[in-house]
């Protein structure tokens, strides 16, 4: 079974400082990995994804994430945080193992609240 | 349509009543998901439809919850005999093998009074 862990319920960072939101995963095969963001009273928006290729993936709003196969991690990063980045962030995984067939189920983590302090 | 559409956007119902929530996925998407999100909390998986396969109902919290997906497109989530703890935002998403990521609707905010 596939699973995702976001070990931090909340991350606080000062504006202008680099930020990291952690995510680890477990799958039987190769993973597709995703980050979504949810601003207050809004739906979930897709930020970026890792499918294959370069381990460093760049996405919207200056965010990037690094796929680390040995550590089964996909941490979200941004070099300089903005107050407007304050939101709820979700990591997600989809298994592409041989036994997954056409199964497309995406499993989400429990979310990490990012608070950027002015 | 261009995106995932959910209706109604808001629903207030009395305890004990039945409600139906509708999701129109992106045309051609074979996978459809329902999630529940309580205020400021994470996503709780409810049910997953994949093409013509039997749905994954492992997340439905009780037998008061059921969902259908007719013709591989529109889905309806039904909650019978609603309880106050059912109050939440119900989110629908769809995906395809080609697009890989899931696209979310804006959700239905359900309030049981």
Give percent above pLDDT 90 in chain A: 74
Q: Could you give the CA distance from residue A44 to residue A106 in angstroms, rounded to a whole number?
A: 14
- Preferred mutation among B101, B108, B109 to probe A, highest tally of A CBs within 10 A: B101
SS3 B24: strand
* A51 has a pLDDT exceeding 80: yes
Q: For A34-41, what is the mean pLDDT? A: 91
Q: How confident is the model over A73-98, as pLDDT tens digits? A: 999 999 999 999 999 999 999 877 65
Cβ-nearest to B50 among A103, A107, A113: A103
Residue of A nearest to B39 (CA): A41
Query: What is the reported pLDDT for B13?
Result: 97
Query: What is the reported pLDDT for A106?
Result: 85
Rounded to a whole number, what is the distance in angstroms from the first to the last CA of chain B?
33
Query: What is the reported pLDDT for B99?
Result: 66
DSSP track, B29-91: --EEEEEEE-TT--EEEEEEEETTSPPB-TT--STTEEEEEGGGS-EEEEE-S--GGG-EEEE
SS3 A98: helix
Query: What is the reported pLDDT for B28?
Result: 87
B31, A104: Cβ pair inside 8 Å?
Answer: yes
pLDDT interval class at A99 (50, 70, 90): low
Give percent above pLDDT 70 in chain A: 93
- What single-letter DSSP state applies at residue A60? G
pLDDT interval class at A100 (50, 70, 90): low
A111, B50: Cβ pair inside 8 Å?
Answer: no
Per-residue pLDDT of chain B (113 residues; tens, 9 = 90+): 579 999 999 999 999 999 999 999 999 898 999 999 987 778 899 999 988 888 999 999 999 999 999 887 999 999 999 999 999 999 999 988 776 788 999 999 999 99
Is residue B109 less than 8 Å (CB to CB) from chain A? no
Q: For A89-111, what is the mean pLDDT? A: 78
Mean residue pLDDT of chain A comes to: 91
Query: What is the reported pLDDT for A1?
Result: 76
Taking the CA of residue A4 and the nearest CA in chain B, the distance in Å comes to 12
B50, A102: Cβ pair inside 8 Å?
Answer: yes
Cβ-nearest to B97 among A44, A102, A111: A102
Q: Which residue has the tokens 């039997």?
A: B54
Query: What is the reported pLDDT for B2?
Result: 77
Cβ-nearest to B43 among A42, A108, A113: A108
Query: What is the reported pLDDT for B50?
Result: 87
């Amino acid at each position: 079974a596939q699973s995702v862990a976001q070990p931090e319920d909340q991350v606080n960072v000062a504006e202008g400082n680099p930020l990291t939101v952690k995510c680890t995963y477990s799958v039987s095969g190769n993973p597709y990995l995703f980050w979504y963001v949810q601003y207050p009273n809004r739906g979930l928006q897709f930020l970026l994804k890792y499918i294959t290729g370069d381990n460093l993936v760049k996405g919207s709003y200056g965010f990037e994430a690094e796929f680390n196969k040995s550590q089964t991690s996909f941490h979200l990063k941004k070099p300089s945080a903005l107050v407007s980045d304050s939101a709820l962030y979700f990591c997600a995984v989809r298994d592409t193992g041989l036994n997954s067939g056409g199964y497309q189920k995406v499993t989400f983590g429990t979310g990490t609240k990012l608070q950027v302090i002015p | 349509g261009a995106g995932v559409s959910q209706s109604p956007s808001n629903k207030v119902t009395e305890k004990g009543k039945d409600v139906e929530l509708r999701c129109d996925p992106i045309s051609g998407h074979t996978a459809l998901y329902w999630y529940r999100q309580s205020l400021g909390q994470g996503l709780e998986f409810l049910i997953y439809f994949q093409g013509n396969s039997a749905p994954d109902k492992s997340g439905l919290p009780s037998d008061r919850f059921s969902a259908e997906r007719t013709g591989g497109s529109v889905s309806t989530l039904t909650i019978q005999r609603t309880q106050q703890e059912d109050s939440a935002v119900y989110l629908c998403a769809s995906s395809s093998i080609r697009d890989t990521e899931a696209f979310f609707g804006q959700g239905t905010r359900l309030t049981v009074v």
